[in-house]
Amino acid sequence: MERSLNIRQNLTICITGTPGVGKTSVSRKLAILLRGNVINVGTMVIRRKLFSEYDEYRDTYIVDENSLRDELRKVIRENKRKGVTCIIDTHLLNALQGLDIDLVIVLTCDPLLLLNRNISKGASLQKSIENAVSEFLNQILIDVFKIFDKSKIIVIDTSCKDVNTVANEILNRILSKKYHDEIDWKQANWSFRAAWISKLLTSTSGRI
Ligand SMILES: Nc1ncnc2c1ncn2[C@@H]1O[C@H](COP(=O)(O)OP(=O)(O)OP(=O)(O)O)[C@@H](O)[C@H]1O
Ligand SMILES: [Mg+2]
């Protein structure tokens, strides 16, 4: 805990990744290590009604990105003003465009393990498969690179690590300022799952 005292106290950190990858679990742990606040964007959208409609078929809210961006801007400013580290837990990246974010942590996971994490968490098979395919295709990572400067991005493969290990790895990267290093693409290379993904899609074709 003492080590965290060396870190600038009003960082704004986004923890992102495909649903089920561990954003919320890691954000909570990191908030303890950094004595920061967590903003769970999904909860914020529902509580502050920052959506235009609810899509029953996809069981998801259609987010009003402009309103969400305005709310996040206010929260970030308030935390910076108070000198408190703010951890934004979200996979909704479009709403983050133009916001004052210091660091973006992209959590990744072997798509097969991700499928199991989501199913264990109670997600539907359809959503779990969609998320496994999305992770295989690095969809979140590609969007992150479109929006943020690469000097702000850290990619961490969570596959064989528990939540504590991932949170401590992030803390160490922040402490050592290692986020300015080159991205380690091995943290997001799931090409070895290509045959499995293909089989998964064939076996479920027409159902997802
Ligand atoms: N590093 C990890 N290793 C193993 N299991 C993990 C790890 N991180 C999280 N989990 C487990 O995976 C599940 C999903 O984690 P969590 O809810 O934190 O993900 P999330 O990215 O916030 O998902 P969502 O986008 O749906 O909110 C939880 O059951 C959690 O305990
Ligand atoms: Mg979550």
CATH of the domain at 121: 3.40.50.300
Assigned domain for 108 exists: yes
| pLDDT of the residue at 177 | 72
Mutate to test the pocket of ligand 1, among 24, 120, 135 (most ligand atoms within 8 A of CB): 24
| pLDDT of the residue at 183 | 74
Cβ-contact 174, 103 below 8 angstroms: yes
Domain that holds residue 43: 2-203
Identify the residue whose C-alpha is closest to ligand 1 atom 29.
Answer: 121
Question: 178 pLDDT band (50/70/90 cuts)?
Answer: low
Cβ-contact 14, 94 below 8 angstroms: no
pLDDT top residue among 183 and 37? 37
Assigned domain for 91 exists: yes
Residues with CB under 6 Å of ligand 1 are 17, 19-25, 91, 117, 120-121, 158, 161-163, 166
Identify the residue whose C-alpha is closest to ligand 1 atom 30.
Answer: 22
Assigned domain for 150 exists: yes
Mean pLDDT of the chain: 91
* d(CA 195, ligand 2 centre) in Å: 29
* d(CA 41, ligand 1 centre) in Å: 15
Assigned domain for 19 exists: yes
Mutate to test the pocket of ligand 1, among 14, 16, 21, 40 (most ligand atoms within 8 A of CB): 21
Assigned domain for 175 exists: yes
Assigned domain for 147 exists: yes
Q: What is the mean pLDDT of residues 11-27?
A: 98
C-alpha 28/C-alpha 41 separation (Å) is 13
Q: What is the pLDDT of residues 142-176, one digit of tens each?
A: 999 999 998 899 999 999 999 999 999 999 998 88
Assigned domain for 70 exists: yes
Mutate to test the pocket of ligand 1, among 89, 91, 106, 117 (most ligand atoms within 8 A of CB): 117
Question: 208 pLDDT band (50/70/90 cuts)?
Answer: low
Assigned domain for 208 exists: no
| pLDDT of the residue at 114 | 98
* Ligand number with the minimum distance to the CA of 22: 1
Cβ-contact 147, 98 below 8 angstroms: no
Q: What is the pLDDT of residues 106-150, one digit of tens each?
A: 999 999 999 999 999 999 998 999 999 999 999 999 999 999 998
CA distances from 200 to 117, 120, 131, 194, 205 (A): 16, 18, 12, 10, 8
| pLDDT of the residue at 77 | 96
Question: 207 pLDDT band (50/70/90 cuts)?
Answer: low
C-alpha 33/C-alpha 123 separation (Å) is 29
- The number of folded domains in the chain is 1
Q: Report the first-to-last Cα separation within the chain, whole angstroms.
A: 45
* d(CA 89, ligand 2 centre) in Å: 7
Question: 36 pLDDT band (50/70/90 cuts)?
Answer: very high
Q: What is the mean pLDDT of residues 85-104?
A: 96
